[in-house]
């Protein structure tokens, strides 16, 4: 059995799942934006739906992130070695997690619904941070490694 191929498949699949959870959240928030801003009468119900979705999405994202890290460590340890490029990729992933978690705590958790469209834009800033970091990781991985 080709364990390198299995680990690479697992690493790629977990990264795609992690990325996919971010996109799913983006599309849900884009759909609910008009109902969570302004004076929407069902904002409380939609806010509950959003919180429940985020709770479940976070579980999937956590498993996918752990899969990325674990398979990445195994790939580096057994097949690719611990080069400074692997260190850079690891640093970028840690930076992505730190930036997104910091922004969530600072700007997303305090939001109450319904909120103003200006406050709701904090969600889009979060996605800009996260998707930019994903793009940077992919650029380093595919074009520099």
C-beta neighbour count of 91 within 10 angstroms: 12
For the chain, the domains span 3-144
| Residues 72-116 pLDDT 10s | 999 999 998 898 988 999 999 999 999 999 999 999 999 999 999
- For 18-67, how does the pLDDT look when each residue is reduced to its tens digit (9 = 90+)? 999 999 999 999 999 988 987 777 888 899 999 999 999 999 999 999 99
Cα gap 76→93, rounded to integer Å: 15
Strand, helix or coil for residue 42: coil
Q: What is the pLDDT of residue 145?
A: 65
φ/ψ (deg, to 5) at 17? -65, -40
Q: What is the pLDDT of residue 38?
A: 73
Q: Which of 125, 134, 118 is nearest to 102 (CA)?
A: 125
């Amino acid at each position: 059995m080709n364990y390198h191929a299995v680990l690479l498949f697992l690493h790629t699949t977990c990264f795609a799942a992690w990325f996919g959870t971010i996109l799913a959240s983006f599309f849900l928030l884009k759909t609910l934006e008009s109902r969570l801003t302004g004076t929407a009468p069902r904002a409380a119900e939609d806010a509950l739906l959003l919180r429940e979705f985020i709770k479940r999405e976070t579980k999937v994202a956590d498993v996918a992130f752990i899969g990325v890290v674990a398979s990445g460590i195994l790939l580096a340890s057994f097949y690719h070695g611990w080069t400074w490029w692997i260190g850079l990729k690891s640093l970028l992933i840690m930076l992505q997690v730190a930036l997104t978690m910091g922004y969530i705590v600072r700007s997303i958790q305090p939001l109450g619904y319904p909120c103003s469209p200006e406050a709701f834009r904090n969600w889009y800033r979060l996605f800009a941070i996260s998707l930019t970091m994903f793009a940077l990781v992919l650029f380093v991985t595919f074009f520099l490694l």
